[in-house]
Chain A
Amino acid sequence: MTDAPAPSFEQQLVSHRDYLLRFARLQLRNETWAEDAVSETVLAALAKPQSFANRSQLKTWLVGILKHKVIDALRHHSREVCGLDSSEDDDADPLEYLGFKVDGHFSQQPADWGNPEQQLSSRQFLEVLDVCTNKLPSIQGRLFLMREWLELSSEEICKELGLTPTNLYVQLHRARLRLRECLELNWFAKPHAT
């Protein structure tokens, strides 16, 4: 009995395309930029084929290349990325979602989310987190993912995009509070089957 022939390097690369595209879209919020970044990633990988012990290692390597391509795209489109040319994002202060009285006290105590370490790695939770991240307005989403996916420091982000720290912090503050709200509504305030 013989196994099916091992897939070629090219076939392996193609099998990861959707996975890469998902991150590129989430980070760039622009279909064309995302497609380009993934294509460039695949081309770069083809230019120096390597063998990997398993699928997961190849994926990690590809994601590493993709991150570089994505940073190039963000830098190249920096004006659009952080909204210097538009005002599509809202100005609402999401701290208001939390409900504060005039004197700065909570009008309602924040909910106890319990001790959800186990849940956090569950597939269902990660799907909710993914959807909530995707729902962030595009500028907030891009900047938030530069912190959380590209793992850049705030200083690095400002430098890459020519953004002032104040602008960056306002957007990140909004993104984090929106995400909190979304997770609360769609996960922590809901009963779970598991």
Chain B
Amino acid sequence: MMPFNRTCKEVTALVIAREDRALPWRERLALKLHMAICAACPTFERQVLTMRNAMKQWRNYEGDEPVQRH
């Protein structure tokens, strides 16, 4: 049995879920193992991290003019 095998689809869901909740250790380990052997999921993970940084910039956006809505 391979209790830590996850598909890309499952890993993608975990990467998203991690933004809002702590993952149980089993899922964290499965994520790590998958990332080590997958080319696509680390790219997706970087997108999510970029979004995390982007929201931080947006939240702290203190430019004196509000962002214009078109």
Interface residues of A (CB under 8 A from B): 18-19, 22, 55-56, 59-60, 95, 98, 100, 103-106, 109-113, 116-117, 120-121, 123, 125-127, 129-131, 133-134, 147-149, 151, 154, 165, 168-169, 172-173, 176-177, 179-180, 183-184
A103 B40 Cβ-Cβ under 8 A = no
- Measured between C-beta atoms, what is the minimum distance from A23 to chain B in Å? 9
B59 in contact (CB, < 8 A):
yes
Would you call the interface of chain B mostly helix, strand, loop, or mixed?
A: helix
User: Which residue of the partner chain, among A113, A133, A173, contacts B13 with CB atoms under 8 Å?
Assistant: A173
Q: Which residues does chain A contribute within 8 Å of B55, judged by CB atoms? A: 129, 148
Range, interface on chain B: 35 or more
- Measured between C-beta atoms, what is the minimum distance from A137 to chain B in Å? 17
Q: Which 3 pairs, one residue from A and one from B, show the smallest C-beta to C-beta distance?
A: A104-B7, A104-B9, A110-B44
Q: Which residues does chain A contribute within 8 Å of B33, judged by CB atoms? A: none
* Residue of B with least CB distance to A117: B53
A106 B40 Cβ-Cβ under 8 A = yes
